[in-house]
Amino acid sequence: MIDRSQQPQIHNLDEFRLKAPQRYVLPNGVKLWVLDSSDVEVTRIDLVINAGRHHQSQLLQALFTNRMLREGTTQFNRAQIAEQLDFHGAWMEQSISFEHSYITLYTLNKHLNTSIALLAQMVKEPIFDAQVLEVLKQNNLQRFLTALKQPNAQARRLFKRAIYGQHLLCHMADASDYKAVNTEMLREFHQQWYHSGNLSIYLAGRITDDCIELVSQTFGEPFGEGQKGGEIYQGNIPQQCHQQLFKEMPDTAQSSVLIGKSTINQLHPDFLPLRVLVTLLGGYFGSRLMTTIREEKGMTYGIYSVLNPSPYDNAFMILSDCDHCFVKPLLAETYHQIERLQNELVGDDELTLVRNSMKGDLLRSYDSCLSITDAWIFMHTLGLPNDYFYRFWQAITTVTPAELQRLACTYLTKDTLTEIVAGEKMS
């Protein structure tokens, strides 16, 4: 019998390896990646289509094409689709990125046959009803206009314009772009990019040979005609320099502060240890910025730093919302913490805390075959090596204080950081 009065031993994990999917090729050339697990009663199906913002001829074309897939097909209207998903306990998510469109369906194993047939209908035979589109446009436009009233949304838009110039990463929609969306442009985009030549499929759960055969029967025949996607957009990101920009927004409750730059991509040898540095600076609750600016000085409820990935770069950002009177001291303390990382070695205790936090996040994020699918889609769509997460674990484990100091001096220099403030005018 287990002695509940004794704490279990803590064991350090020496390495981290993701379960690798099995690779199949359907008769029409579509790649199928399968992660099989016997302990789940849910199947996850992901369709990844080379049809992102890079491929569109008008802003919002990729987004609304993707969102309209579940709003009516040649066989089912939007209400019938919603009813079928609900009746069979299925859940559907849709999103787009710069290079891809994603459709994810979770379904009970016993309803896989019905759910996958419905999914195929939505992808292959959407009707793009004009009345339904108009409702969807108005709902999204209202959310967009509401978001624009928030300082953090304005700060992000100003930041993108400042660091990306004419690059695709700076292409942002306005209200007029929402109004310009019509069914013809969506049909054109669907016809051009939604076909079997641009499709990859990921299947996770309790996967039998019958499941694989069902996917092959449903998506294994050629469908659609159009252009082959997959080529990375070629565009120049401007050289980074220090800028201070302000967006005046009277009568706002708080100001939004954003400091950042475009930096190295995931394939650069410094990228993985840089992730450790960014986490130590502001990437978790015990970080330098949270400890000093939130807990010790009480200037904000939250401040954090991130590396936001794209196929072209990573945007390093420090973000916070605070009372208008705290903007200047918050900026000063943020730069002070960066300078500390450049001038002082990180202590062993602090580095151990960061390592444990990052490793715990990795283990929690990828603790089942359903969530591991996200990791493989991330690696495949960004062209990363299959051992990317193993290398990440090793970087967390082996990075030294001296290396972190070098990275801070190389990538966090103030003369390359853009500083954005959106809110009431500062005195």
Question: 328-355, pLDDT tens digit by residue?
Answer: 999 999 999 999 999 999 999 999 999 9
pLDDT-derived band at 66 (thresholds 50, 70, 90) equals very high
Instruction: Report the pLDDT averaged over residues 1-19.
Output: 81
Task: Give CA–CA dist 234/238, Å, rounded.
Answer: 13
Q: Which fold has domain 22-219?
A: Cytochrome Bc1 Complex; Chain A, domain 1 (3.30.830)
Q: Which two tokens stand for residue 98?
A: 């710069």
User: Considering the chain, what is the average pLDDT of its residues?
Assistant: 94
Give dist(CA 345, CA 406) in Å, integer: 10
**Mean pLDDT, residues 324-330 taken together:** 95
- Note the pLDDT of residue 187: 97
**pLDDT at res. 341:** 98
What per-residue confidence (pLDDT) applies to 427? Answer: 57
Determine the pLDDT at residue 9.
Answer: 78
pLDDT in tens, 194-242: 999 999 999 999 999 999 999 999 999 999 988 888 777 777 888 888 9
Q: Residue 168: pLDDT band by 50, 70, 90 thresholds?
A: confident
pLDDT digits (tens, 9 = 90+) for 34-62: 999 877 889 999 999 999 999 999 999 99
Give the rounded percent of residues in the chain with a pLDDT score beyond 90: 86
| Domain locations along the chain | 22-219, 243-423
What is the reported pLDDT for 149? 95
Superfamily per CATH, domain 243-423: Metalloenzyme, LuxS/M16 peptidase-like (3.30.830.10)
| Mean pLDDT, rounded, for 271-289 | 97
Domain 22-219 and domain 243-423 have a common topology: yes
